[in-house]
Amino acid sequence: MKASFGVCLIPLFGGFILWITAPKPPQGDLKSLLSQASLAQSLPIQPQQPLPRIWKQRLPPLLAMRLWRQGKGSWLQIWGPHADSSPLLLLRAGREADTVPLSLRWGPYRVVAADALGLQSLQQSLRNPAQHRFGPRCAALESSDAALFWSGSGLVATTANWSPFLMPLQQGCFQLQGMRWWGKTRGGDGVLRSTAPMAQPQEPVWPTSAAPLLLQGDSLAPLLGPLLEPLLDGASKKLLLQSPFQLQLLFNPANNPYQASIWISLQPQGKRARQDFERLLERLKTQLPAELQLKSRNGVSELRNPKGWVQAGWRWQQSNKLLIVLGASPNNQLAPGVVLSGFKQLSGLTLVAAPRLLDQRGLLPGDMPLVLKKSALFKGHWRAGRAGAAAQVIGVSETLD
C-alpha cells in the first residue's frame, strides 16, 4: 500500500519540479503583457505630429516632449481583459523615465499605468509567469510599423452583436503600412503564435460590387459552423456549410419595415445537391415558429410574420443556385448592377464593404474603431492555414478625405 502511494506521488513530484524550474519570461517579452490583453496597438513615433494625448496624461510635460522629439521606432497601448478600461502605455526610454509615477521597467520598455490599481494589477500579473507562459505572440507589435493585436474579448468589445459571425477572427495580429494591412488570425480555442513579422502577401483580384457589403467564399463553415453545428445533422451540416456562396447586404426601400436585407446565393455541390437541399427545406418547413406563415407561389417561398411582413424567403436561380433572403422577399428585384448569379469562387473568404455608408445607416457597432467607420471602401481576404495553423489575412482601406 505504501509503495503504491509512493508511485502515485512520482508524477506529481515530477510536475512540481518542472514547474519551479521552468524559465521565467524574459524582461521585455510582450507575450507576458498579452496573456490577458483584449487589445494592443503599436504606433510609430512621428516627431512632426502633435504629442499624443495619452503621453500628455501619463508623463511629465518636459520629459514627454523630449522623448517624442528624440524618439524612434514605435510605442504601444495595451488594454486589459476589459477593452473599456484605461490602457497601459509602453515606450522605450532610459533612466530619464525611472521617476515617472505609476510606472515600472520591463526590459526596454517603461510601462505606465493609468492609476495605482492598474499598476498593482500589472505587477501581480508579471509576478505570476505560469499564467502567461503559453500566451499569444504578436511579433508585429515589436516592429517599427503600426501593428494591432486583439483577443476574443477585444473582438466582442469592438464588434458587439457582429462577433458571433466572426469566429475565424477570435485572435489577430496585423501589421499596417499606410492603408494596407496583413497578418494572421485564429479562431476557436487555439492560441495565436505569430513569432515573426509576416511578409506582405500579394493582393487577390478584388471583386466589384454595387452593394454596400459583399462577402463571398468557398465555404460558409468558417463563419457559421460553430453556430449551426448543434442544429444540423451530419449530412445537412456538410451540405449547407461546404457550399460556395455569395452574400450581399442591400438597403431596403422606404416601404419595407426593415432597413436592410441580406441576400445569400449558395452553389450546392454534387449531382444530388439540389434534391438534398429540397429535403432540408422541407424539414425546415415543419420546424417553423407558430407565428410565421409560409407562403409558396411560382417557385418562391416567403415567411411572413403576423403583420404580413416578409421576414425571409428562398427560391432557386439558374444553374441550380439557391437564393436565400433575410429581411425582404426573394421575389423582389435586386438593385441595378447587383448580380448574385455570376460570382467567382475564391479560396477562403473575400469581403468588400463601404463602412462609411453602413455607419450612416446605423448598421455598424458603435464601438467599432473610428478609422474603420470612416473608410469609404474596405477590402479584406481571409485564407485558412494548413493543418490547424493560423489563417492569413490581407486587406486595404480607402478614404475619401
Taking only the tens place, the pLDDT of each residue in 224-241 is: 887 776 667 777 777 888
Between 270 and 376, the higher pLDDT residue? 376
Contacts for 269 with CB less than 8 Å, ≥ 6 apart: 242, 243, 244
- Is the pLDDT at 42 greater than 90? The verdict is yes
Burial label, 2 (beta-carbon count in 10 A; 0-12, 13-18, 19+): exposed
Contacts for 44 with CB less than 8 Å, ≥ 6 apart: 73, 74, 144, 145, 146
Q: What are phi and psi of 158, to 5 degrees?
A: -95, -25
Rounded Cα distance between 269 and 323, Å, is: 15
Of 355, 366, 361, 280, nearest to 324 by C-alpha is 280
Place of cell 410565421: 292
DSSP 22-66: SPPPPTT-THHHHTT-SEEEEEE--TTSPPPHHHHHHS-HHHHHH
The neighbouring-strand residues paired with 378 are 353, 397
Q: Which of 37-46, 88-97, 286-295 has the lowest mean pLDDT?
A: 286-295
C-alpha cell at 223: 463563419
Predicted confidence band of residue 25 (pLDDT cuts 50, 70, 90): very low
Average pLDDT over residues 17-26: 41
What share of the chain in percent tops pLDDT 70? 87
Taking only the tens place, the pLDDT of each residue in 44-72 is: 999 999 999 999 999 999 999 999 998 88
Global pTM exceeds 0.75: yes
Helix axis angle, 234-241 relative to 273-285, nearest 10°?
110
